[in-house]
Amino acid sequence: MADAVQKWGMFEAAFAGPKGGNPFVDVTLDVDFTFGARSAPAPGFYDGDGVYRVRFMPDTEGDWTFRTRSNVPALDGLTGAFRCGPPGEGNHGPVRVRDRVHFAHADGKPFFPFGTTCYAWTHQPLAMQRETLATMRASGFNKLRMAVFPKHYVFNENEPLHDVYERRDDGELDFDRPNVAAFRHFETQVAALRDIGVEADVIVFHPYDRWGYCDMLPDQDDRYVRYLVARLGAHRNVWWSLANEYDFLIDVKPIERWDRFFHIIEENDPARHLKSIHNGEETMNFDHRKPWVDHVCIQNWNVKRTADWRREWGKPIVNDECEYEGDISLAWGNLTAAELTHRFWVTVTRGGYAGHGECYAHPQDLLWWAKGGVLRGESWRRIAFLRSIVEEDVARGLTPAPPDEWPWQRVSCASEGDYRLIYFGEHQPALWAAGLPADDRTVDVDVIDAWAMTVAPARRVPCPIYPRLRQRGGAWTEPKPAAAFAVALDPKPYQAIRIRPAR
């Protein structure tokens, strides 16, 4: 029996096999893992120099066995066993969808995504990659969007650290031979993120290419997706993002191809990591109602629509590009820090989750959004503060107030049980009573300054008497207080009220 592997850890086995021909194409290897009467197949992969590997993330404590299946006799029918022990400290398992519109780890610990984007950070010099990891460790972000392929785009035109595929004698990339050094490096950085408590949102395809990765043939695309899943699927912190801006590739990869990629992942990922796909144009949202799409990953600046999207698709909403803090000339990359902070608060208090990015111009084009490194802006601190506010009290997830009811069309409000978070955003009331308790129950009420990152007890004042309102059918309501009390505020933007049972 092999040494124990912790639950939701990684078991790996290596086998010697053929080197000749093209093992990436010619050799098939799958492994059936068995626990009692349960069987879980996992794909193997070629790791170069005649070595074949399989990786598996056990989700049940106890004794597991495995048996290989291959078209090569030397790799077929091999058996082994290992023991799965309890999870280690900080290991809560992979993130799943919970309660239809929220997330939690496999052990039940809630997960509230507060992520950022560094598309090509693993393709930068190693010193800069170490800097990125150090920044992530201190930032408060718990998810990072990152691309497998290098990116060619404005502010990101340097050569990558590795080619993702080997080069032929003529210098051209051979899309039938993955570069194992590139994949080893990528998975090392995914593991480094895991070790600091960060989920790796792995972008499988994107359109910003000068190397030819976008133009691989369909069978090459399929083999690439399977190979990627075989190498990364046993990392518990992986999420699969099928594309960044899939619609910009629609001419070469039509919808049925994207559906096929989802299916390849489903067929080869026994860990069932989260799967999503991301749009470019606002009108080109994927049909997120499809059962193989686990959550909604979108790009849209109008964050006040978050509750509408949640109702429309009935899945968790992650607006990973609600535009970026920065000062570049492109309109999506020059929000103020206050505006990006504001968009996070609106998204959260309308029942969704948002993603951060930063695009401050730099003489060497060292923009966080593209390459990582260090954060130069101010929103990230405020986003970490918001994360602390949510994680302090919310047990499962926030439910938005009906956006068609006054005043929630303009002001954002979400709740969980007796907990309520009301965010005013650009509004600057001096007095507020809507959404406050209408009875005499004992509650704590705090005023939060989203920009100054302060929390202070609210100053309670008598609730105003509102004028009678004419109802449908001609009847008039009697004037009465809307709540047991009102809250007096300093008129300024970016404030919130938190209501919770007294402690």
Domain 2-85 adopts which CATH fold? Immunoglobulin-like (2.60.40)
**Whole-angstrom Cα distance, residue 268 to residue 271?**
9
pLDDT of residue 500: 95
The answer on pLDDT for 30 being more than 60 is yes
Structure tokens of 97?
């969808």
Sign of CA dihedral 114, 117, 123, 126: negative
Residue type, 344: F
Give the residue-averaged pLDDT of 243-265.
97
Query: Radius of gyration (Cα) for the chain, nearest Å?
Result: 25
Closest CA to 206 of 244, 262, 232, 237: 244
| CA 1 to each of CA 4, 13, 15, 68: distance values in angstroms, whole numbers, following the listed order | 9, 13, 17, 17
Residues facing 39 on adjacent strands: 34
The answer on pLDDT for 104 being more than 60 is yes
Lowest mean pLDDT among 257-271, 312-326, 354-368, 477-491: 477-491
pLDDT of residue 477: 54
Q: Give pLDDT tens digits for 177-213.
A: 999 999 999 999 999 999 999 999 999 999 999 999 9
pLDDT of residue 469: 56
Three-state SS string over 97-118 comes to EECCCEEEECCCCECCCCEEEC
**Percentage of residues in the chain with pLDDT exceeding 70?**
96
Structure tokens of 494?
């970016």
Give the residue-averaged pLDDT of 135-156.
97
Q: Where are the domains of the chain?
A: 2-85, 95-393, 424-501
- 39 contacts 8 by C-beta, under 8 angstroms: no
End-to-end CA gap in the chain = 51
Fold match flag (2-85 vs 95-393): no
Tell me if residue 285 falls in helix, strand or coil: coil
Lowest mean pLDDT among 18-27, 365-374, 392-401, 478-487: 478-487
Lowest mean pLDDT among 145-149, 155-159, 354-358, 387-391: 155-159
- 377 contacts 334 by C-beta, under 8 angstroms: no
Read off the DSSP letter of residue 246.
Answer: G
Give the residue-averaged pLDDT of 420-424.
98
Three-state SS string over 360-427 comes to CCCCCCCCHHHHCCCCCCCHHHHHHHHHHHHHHHCCCCCEECCCCCCCCCCCEEEEECCEEEEECCCC
The torsion angles phi and psi of 347, rounded to 5 degrees, stand at: -60, -50
- 29 contacts 54 by C-beta, under 8 angstroms: yes
pLDDT of residue 476: 58
Give the residue-averaged pLDDT of 256-269.
98
pLDDT of residue 503: 84
- At 228, the pLDDT band (50, 70, 90 cuts) reads very high
The answer on pLDDT for 299 being more than 80 is yes
pTM above 0.85, yes or no: yes
Domain 95-393 adopts which CATH fold? TIM Barrel (3.20.20)
Tell me if residue 441 falls in helix, strand or coil: coil
Sheet bearing 486-488, strands edge to edge: 431-432, 486-488, 459-461
**Whole-angstrom Cα distance, residue 426 to residue 234?**
44
Give the residue-averaged pLDDT of 48-67.
98
- At 406, the pLDDT band (50, 70, 90 cuts) reads confident
> In terms of pLDDT, which residue wins out, 482 or 11?
11
Q: Which residue has the tokens 């043939």?
A: 217
The answer on pLDDT for 108 being more than 90 is yes
- 212 contacts 175 by C-beta, under 8 angstroms: yes
Q: Give pLDDT tens digits for 463-502.
A: 887 665 555 565 655 555 678 899 999 999 999 999 999 9
> In terms of pLDDT, which residue wins out, 476 or 26?
26
**Whole-angstrom Cα distance, residue 79 to residue 406?**
65
Tell me if residue 276 falls in helix, strand or coil: strand
Q: Give pLDDT tens digits for 215-226.
A: 999 999 999 999
pLDDT of residue 441: 76
